[in-house]
């Protein structure tokens, strides 16, 4: 290292200059201490590692890979499904124990329920189309419906609409004839009474058998059987409505055929609910316990069942339960979450009742509904 030049003549030597002559210098980084270099700037000190990863001369690491998609779950079934239809919002309705696959009613239901040409409620008809699960009424899945391939059964009194030849259009009151009064004729009145009485008796017998079986040997408290047995409620309200509507059809002096048709359909719905409870108890109890009840029913006509729609947690809990009992059940699932084989999809079937609004039945004020009858689960 060269020595520092001497101070000019006449000027005293600078002590700092002498001390500097003994120092050795090394190259330093142009980046101030504590500062972070600009990305991509090369490091000037090869012998020292950079203080910050940002000062590295290596290229930027690749972006992290996308997280794997949530795995698609299988349906909680012990066998592969065989039938499904597509519903809205990327969902599918998977049908089990049935060949009927309904369309999505949300595409058709209006703001208010309307009466169709057959006196039923179209896409909102609870006695024909599958409905969402109700924990207190799991028996509603067993509601009888007429088979599509047997028109003779569809014309039985428990399924068909009210017909003019079954109705008396006048009524004698205190010896005077009143016109424009609609009531059931004597033959139909007695037929409905016999069915009503049989349903009430059979329901009482089924309820007693169910309670006796539960007391004799309650299932494990962690089982689905125990849960269903605790949550189900006997349809006492439906029994009361069935009796009330039966009496009104004959003695209430109904003022229009539209009101008569409405009351007739209400009576049918109530009777179907009571019948569904009896059939559910038959399927729910062990075969050796329910044998006496099955003999008592003496069913001689084969009918289909309405079914029930399960989704979310209810599907995880009750799908196997209904499938094991042989009751029609539908699983409404998201295709983003559950795997549904592509080959089982098909077009939805037609609804089981008329969905055409009826001016004949909808224009009239339904006095029977407003005054006496309420909707029940």
Average pLDDT for 308-330: 95
| Per-residue confidence (pLDDT) for residue 175, from 0 to 100 | 61
Average pLDDT for 195-201: 96
- pLDDT confidence bin for 289, thresholds 50/70/90: confident
Average pLDDT for 302-307: 89
Contact 349, 106 (CB under 8 A): no
pLDDT of 352-371, one tens digit each?
999 988 888 875 444 444 44
- Asked if the model's pLDDT at residue 189 lies above 70, the reply is yes
| Per-residue confidence (pLDDT) for residue 52, from 0 to 100 | 46
Q: What are the φ and ψ backbone dihedral angles of 172, each rounded to 5 degrees?
A: -95, 120
pLDDT of 160-179, one tens digit each?
999 888 888 766 666 666 67
- Looking at per-residue pLDDT, the higher value among 225 and 29 belongs to 225
pLDDT of 120-151, one tens digit each?
999 999 999 999 999 999 999 999 999 888 88
Least confidently predicted of 67-76, 97-106, 259-268:
67-76
Most distant pair of Cα atoms in the chain: their distance: 154
What global pTM score does this model have? 0.77
pLDDT of 6-54, one tens digit each?
544 555 555 544 444 454 545 444 444 444 444 444 444 444 444 444 4
**pLDDT > 70 in the chain, percent:** 73
Average pLDDT for 206-230: 89
| Per-residue confidence (pLDDT) for residue 12, from 0 to 100 | 52
């Amino acid at each position: 290292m060269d020595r520092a030049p001497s101070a000019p003549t006449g000027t005293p030597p600078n002590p700092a200059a002498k001390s500097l002559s003994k120092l050795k210098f090394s190259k330093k980084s142009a980046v101030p201490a504590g500062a972070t270099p600009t990305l991509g700037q090369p490091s000037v000190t090869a012998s020292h590692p950079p203080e910050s990863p940002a000062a590295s001369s290596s290229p930027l690491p690749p972006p992290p890979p996308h997280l794997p998609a949530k795995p698609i779950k299988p349906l909680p079934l012990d066998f592969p499904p065989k039938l499904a239809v597509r519903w809205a919002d990327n969902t599918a309705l998977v049908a089990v124990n049935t060949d009927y696959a309904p369309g999505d009613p949300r595409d058709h239901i209006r703001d208010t329920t309307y009466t169709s040409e057959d006196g039923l409620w179209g896409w909102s008809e609870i006695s024909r189309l599958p409905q969402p699960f109700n924990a207190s009424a799991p028996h509603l899945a067993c509601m009888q419906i007429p088979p599509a391939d047997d028109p003779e059964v569809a014309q039985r009194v428990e399924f068909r609409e009210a017909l003019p030849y079954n109705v008396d259009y006048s009524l004698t009151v205190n010896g005077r004839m009143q016109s424009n009064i609609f009531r059931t004729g004597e033959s139909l009145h007695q037929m409905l009474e016999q069915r009503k009485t049989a349903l009430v008796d059979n329901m009482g017998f089924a309820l007693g058998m169910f309670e006796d079986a539960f007391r004799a040997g309650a299932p494990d408290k962690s089982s689905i059987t125990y849960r269903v047995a605790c949550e189900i409620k006997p349809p006492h309200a439906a029994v009361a409505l069935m009796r009330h509507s039966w009496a009104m059809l004959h003695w209430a002096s109904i003022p229009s055929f539209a009101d008569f048709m409405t009351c007739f359909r209400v009576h049918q719905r109530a009777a179907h609910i009571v019948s569904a409870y009896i059939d559910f108890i038959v399927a729910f109890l062990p075969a050796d316990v329910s044998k006496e009840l099955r003999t008592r029913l003496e069913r001689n006509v084969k009918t289909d069942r309405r079914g029930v729609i399960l989704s979310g947690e209810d599907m995880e809990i009750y799908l196997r339960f209904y499938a094991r009992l042989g009751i029609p059940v539908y699983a409404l699932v998201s295709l983003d979450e559950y795997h549904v084989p592509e080959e089982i999809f098909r077009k939805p079937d037609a609804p089981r009742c008329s969905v055409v609004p009826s001016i004949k039945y909808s224009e009239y004020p339904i006095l029977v509904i407003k005054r006496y009858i309420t909707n029940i689960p």
